[in-house]
Homo-oligomer: A and B are copies of this chain.
Amino acid sequence: MNKKAIDSVSIKEMDSEDVVDTVTIDCTIFGFNEGTLEVLLVQHAEGISKGKWGLPGGWIRKEESIDDAAYRLLRELTGIDNIYLEQLKAFGSPKRFPLSRVITIGYYALIKKEDYRLTPGFTASAVKWYKVKDVPELIYDHADILEVSLKRLKRRVRQAPVGFNLLPEKFTLLQLMHLYEEILEVEMDKPNFRRKFLRMKLLVPLNEKETDVSHRAAQLYKFDPGIYEKLTEKGFNFEF
């Protein structure tokens, strides 16, 4: 069951469960580590794509919604429950999956790597974080899905402060700026970034500073979910 959850391709296992047999889910799971954007890939242990890397995915159960299926698959894979997850779009070239006509629904998720742990059941198949700029060849149309996910992330990050979901609870302004720089692939001006972000009152300064750094300790902030709600409702944008 665990293997199936991370492997949308072993079609022979399919009929053993009560699943929709023409539609799968594939997730692009982003993480952020030391200034680099990463993505979680799985190595398929058997089936026609044995040994190759792909996005984690799986089948949809007949009695669950597609969103529920995505949350379930993610929980099974990362052990995380409270996750930022959004549907990307459906991918449906007739030949995308060689054995039969399978449409897949792409999702993308942002996780705090500090929260992530591999659940024991999954250690059988290889699961690994790859730098986004350094992913190996992927099965089927997963390279497409990843590309669309990246585009969407870039767009999303400028329209809502979703980046927080990639950072630890407490973070510094520079960490936040580096996150934006990495995702948007631009360089930013530190003073201007500070002011712009502080102006929108989205950050709550904590009574805490960095420790163990060999330079002036930075103020730590957390993110104010209340203000976030207000801002997303009336719509805003983070152009930099």
Contacts and interface: CB of A to CB of B under 8 A. Distances in A.
Contacts of A83: none
Copies in the complex: 2
A51 interface: no
A89 B92 contact: no
B92 A66 contact: yes
Contact of A237 (B21, B23, B237): B237
B63 A92 contact: no
A60 interface: yes
A101 B66 contact: no
A159 B90 CA distance: 22
Range of interface residues on A (Cβ < 8 Å): 20 to 34
B237 A103 contact: no
Given A62-B101, A92-B105, A93-B65, A20 B22 contact: yes
A156 B89 CA distance: 16
Nearest to A66: B92
A60 B23 CA distance: 13
Contacts of A155: 159, 235
Interface string A72-91: 00000000000000010111
Interface in A23-60: 23, 60
Contacts of A66: 90-92, 103
A62 B94 contact: yes
A229 interface: no
Contacts of A67: 92
A17 interface: no
A64 B103 CA distance: 11
A239 interface: yes
Interface of A: 20-23, 60, 62-67, 87, 89-94, 101, 103, 105, 155, 158-159, 235, 237, 239
5 contacts: A63-B94, A65-B93, A66-B103, A92-B105, A158-B235
Q: Top 3 nearest A-B pairs by Cβ distance?
A: A66-B92, A90-B90, A90-B105
